Each structure stands twice: as C-alpha cells, then as structure tokens.
Amino acid sequence: MKQLIYPKSRIPLCILAGMMMLLPTLLYARNMGDGARERPAPVLMGKGFAVMQDEYRLVKIIVTEKEVEGEGVGRLRGMLFLEGEKYSLDVEKTGDGEFSGKVLLQKEGREEVGDISLQVKEIGERRKEKVITGKLVLEGESYRLYLLSPGRRGEGKRRMRKGGECYE
C-alpha cells in the first residue's frame, strides 16, 4: 500500500485555509453583541398593591433611565402594570428618593390618563429593605401604592452553623 506523503509546502497552506474558513465565524461571534439592545439597569422597581378604599389591585412598576437621542441626556421612563393593563410612565426625580410624573396609555398614541408620585424609603435596622409608597391617580380614581423593591441577588442569605447560630 502506498503511503501518502504531503510535500512540506502544502501543510502550511492547509492550516492557512482552515484558519481562513474559521475567521468569519470568529469575527461574527465577537461582534454579535454590538447590534443587540442592552437593557438599562432599573432605577426603581417594585411589586405590591394599589389600594382604593376597601379594594386593592396588584401593581408592578419598573423605571429605567433611557438616553434621548441627540440630546445626550437621560430621561426616566417606565412601565406600570395594573392587573393586566399596561401603561407607560414619564417620570422625573424630584428629590432624594422621590419621583413624580405622568401615566400614559400605550394603546392610543400615548394619551395621558393620570399622574403618579412615589417615595422610596429604606426600613429596618440590620438589613435595609426598600419600600415604595405613593399615590396614583388613574382616569379619575385615586389609589395609594404600597410596593416592595426586590433585593439584590445573594443579599441576605443566611447560613446555619451546627450550634444553630446564624451568620451572614
């Protein structure tokens, strides 16, 4: 049986051809994240209740800072979910932990349907929890808002020792 012997000059050509075939794939994988939309970190986020007299409704609020094209300035925009209804928020920070703004209906060309004001407070001595309270006026009805802001991952995990003592 005859053994195949490659001349020394073909081996580098084979390696070069293989690299040329891999290069577009590597470049695509490297640049794949450039066109993807990045989600901005939330400035304010919470889930809780909207209370009107003896009725309550589930509510979720997410507010992020979005850069306005051409101006280079960040604006606070958000979403309000009130038991299946989805609203947009155009919010501004009015003080330390205080926000206020407009509630816009997304269905009909961002029509203004109400106002919102929120206050963020930290409660607790040892482990601080963020509590969001506020007022929502939506289509003539006034609600009091009581929301809890989720903690960061890994925060507040406790481990038990054999003796039953807790440590963080």
130 is a domain residue: yes
55 is a domain residue: yes
Say if residues 85 and 103 touch (Cβ distance below 8 Å): no
The pLDDT, as a whole number, for residue 123 is 85
pLDDT in tens, 4-21: 555 555 666 667 777 777
37 is a domain residue: no
20 is a domain residue: no
Take residue 95 and report the two structure tokens written for it. Answer: 């003080």
Helix, strand, coil content of the chain in percent (nearest 5): 15, 50, 35
Q: What is the mean pLDDT of the chain?
A: 77
What is the residue range of 116's domain? 42-148
The pLDDT, as a whole number, for residue 70 is 63
118 is a domain residue: yes
pLDDT for residue 28 is more than 70:
no
The pLDDT, as a whole number, for residue 147 is 92
pLDDT in tens, 129-160: 889 999 999 988 999 999 998 765 444 444 44
76 is a domain residue: yes
Residue type, 107: K
61 is a domain residue: yes
Domain count, the chain: 1
The pLDDT, as a whole number, for residue 2 is 59
The pLDDT, as a whole number, for residue 106 is 74
pTM (two decimals):
0.63
pLDDT for residue 40 is more than 50:
yes
165 is a domain residue: no
Of 17 and 113, the structure prediction assigns the larger pLDDT to 113
**35, burial (CB in 10 Å: exposed 0-12, middle 13-18, buried 19+):** exposed
The pLDDT, as a whole number, for residue 160 is 46
